[in-house]
Amino acid sequence: MIVWLASYPKSGNTLLRSILSTYFYSKDGVLKFEDLYKITQFPQSYHFLPLGIDIDDEEQVFKNFINAQNLINEDKGKLKFFKTHSSLCKMHDCNFTDLKNTLGAIYIVRDPRNVVTSLAHHFSLNIDEATEIILDNNRFMEKSLKTSKVFLGSWRSNYNSWKELEKSKKYLLIKYEDLIHKKKTVTLKIFKFLFSLGIKFEIDMTKLNKVIKTTDFENMKNKELEETFYEALIDDKTGKRKNFFKLGPKNDWRKHLDKRNKDIIEKNFSSEMRELGYL
């Protein structure tokens, strides 16, 4: 069954994947991008090919999310992490997932004032455009060469949708800011959650300490300078890959976000931001 690593875009999903992939898929606890790539995104086009689905038919793709997950889970006995930015929602009268396929979900959330500035850099937008995106309750993530279209929603609706799994005790919420500043504590909290789902493994503190060290943001940033990080987008103007690891913990909305957009975000997301301690 699947453990979802769910988030709104630019909320720390890559850091979460880096930690888990390095711990579970490396031998020595040292970050390698090739291990990170082992935690892939759902849905991707290849998930639907065995079903004979026309991947350009949006409705058929949405209607077969669960059928694609059924195929993934035919390979029993393996821990399956999947990244997703989808809301936990129903489209074309079909759910994104179900309890038969979902073992649990770790949702990582980030202060939306920092999400918007990171989103602007990643997608080459201005701050006004990025703010409009995170406020859009009807937002989709469009199909790419590899990934299929999913319903994103707004920052707020995406965050709230995954809380549905709390009822089944299959949900763990972590904050990006805590993952940055209390990485070992949060990682051990994640391990405890995985234990509660029935996943059995030993905690190797020596290996974990190496994971904590090598997934430091500056180390990941330097690693990107030395080798290609294939999840970084191509800049339309230069034709070159933009740096994926740009500011990280140094992305401070107080320095990069104008007052008008700050006020708009705080007004629209005040309830959730207070709930999370961002206000």
Residue-wise pLDDT tens digits, 113-143? 999 998 998 788 899 999 999 999 999 988 8
Using left for φ > 0, alpha for ψ between -120 and 50, and beta otherwise, residue 29 falls in left
CA distance 155 to 134: 5
Q: Which amino acid is at 28?
A: D
For 15-70, what is each residue's pLDDT tens digit? 999 999 999 999 999 999 889 889 999 999 899 989 998 888 999 999 999 999 99
Q: Provide the residue range defining the domain that includes 223.
A: 2-275
User: How is the beta sheet containing 171-175 ordered, strand by strand?
Assistant: 80-84, 2-7, 102-109, 171-175
Taking the alpha carbons at both ends of the chain, their separation in whole angstroms is 36
What are the residues facing 234 on neighbouring strands?
241
Closest CA to 201 of 78, 28, 102, 93: 78
pTM for the whole structure = 0.92
For 211-264, what is each residue's pLDDT tens digit? 999 998 777 777 777 776 656 555 666 666 656 666 667 678 998 899 999 999
Q: Looking at residue 20, which CATH number applies to its domain?
A: 3.40.50.300
As a whole number, mean pLDDT of residues 146-150 equals: 86
Number of domains in the chain: 1
Closest CA to 2 of 50, 64, 73: 73
Closest CA to 163 of 155, 172, 153, 150: 172
